[in-house]
């Protein structure tokens, strides 16, 4: 029997188009990233209002280190500033903050900011908000394999659930929906293990221009889809 979805439990978002948004307006790239941060805050509120319990944002990929040193430095400073200054906002929304990815490459100061925000929001009851930071799908799978091999498990112990427990997403449910903005139609290493049954939505809208109307439209279309999960 096919599953009749209502509000998705988990939504993944690939926030793309910040730099193009800025370029189209004759602005430096960092203005696009800052505008994208405002959109992210709005989406958390829209998701909460729609009954979405988990939302994960592809915030900084392992490939982002290949950008200019100036832009990488700005992005990391913006992440630290955003989490620090917007903590009150996330608390007001009841958000529980989590971070997915290899955080060890970040400065100790940024790592402390992230850990502190997790602690300060842990008792909230609103949506779980995940930020994928220094995240890459292949790297996540390789890390899980290495971790499992180091434990020398019996062959029969290695099940889907056992493997998933070693992924960086931990107990986060697999995304029902993945949204990518800016017109690009690929996942770029975002949650390859977790997205096998995700419904994919590709928007031509640049991330800073993404609206509640479009978000609600995607949720409405999701509610009409039959999810067979390979059956």
Indicate which residues carry an active-site annotation. Answer: 16, 64
Number of neighbours of residue 186 by Cβ within 10 angstroms: 11
Q: Where are the alpha helices (DSSP H) in the chain?
A: 18-24, 29-50, 69-85, 87-92, 108-121, 137-151, 160-164, 212-224
Query: Residues in the chain, how many?
Result: 231
Between CA 103 and CA 31 the distance in angstroms is 25
Distance of CA 80 to the CA centre of its chain: 16
Phi, psi torsion values for 93, nearest 5 degrees: -85, -5
Distance of CA 71 to the CA centre of its chain: 20
Phi, psi torsion values for 28, nearest 5 degrees: -65, 155
Order the strands of the 177-180 sheet from edge to edge.
Answer: 96-100, 128-135, 54-61, 10-14, 177-180, 199-202
Please list the residues that pair with 177 across neighbouring strands. Answer: 11, 199
CA angle 158, 161, 162 (to 5 degrees): 40
Between CA 150 and CA 80 the distance in angstroms is 33
């Amino acid at each position: 029997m096919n599953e009749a979805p209502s509000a998705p439990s988990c939504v993944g978002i690939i926030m793309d188009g910040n730099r193009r948004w800025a370029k189209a307006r004759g602005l430096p790239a960092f203005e696009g990233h800052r505008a994208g941060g405002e959109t992210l805050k709005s989406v958390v509120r829209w998701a909460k209002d729609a009954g979405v319990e988990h939302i994960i944002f592809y915030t900084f990929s392992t490939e982002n280190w290949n950008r200019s040193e100036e832009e990488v430095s700005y992005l990391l400073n913006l992440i630290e500033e955003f989490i620090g200054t917007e903590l009150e906002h996330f608390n007001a929304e009841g958000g529980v903050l989590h971070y997915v990815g290899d955080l060890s490459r970040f400065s100790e100061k940024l790592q402390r900011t992230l850990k502190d925000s997790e602690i300060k929001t842990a008792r909230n009851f609103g949506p779980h908000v995940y930020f994928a930071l220094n995240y890459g799908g292949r790297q996540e799978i390789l890390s899980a394999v290495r971790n499992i091999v180091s434990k020398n498990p019996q062959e029969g112990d290695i099940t889907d659930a056992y493997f998933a427990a070693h992924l960086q997403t931990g107990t986060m449910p697999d995304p029902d929906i993945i949204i990518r903005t800016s017109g690009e139609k690929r996942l770029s290493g975002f949650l390859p293990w977790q997205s096998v049954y995700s419904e994919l939505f590709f928007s031509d809208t640049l991330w800073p221009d993404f609206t509640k109307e479009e978000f609600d439209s995607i949720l409405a279309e999701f509610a009409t889809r039959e999810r067979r999960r390979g059956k």
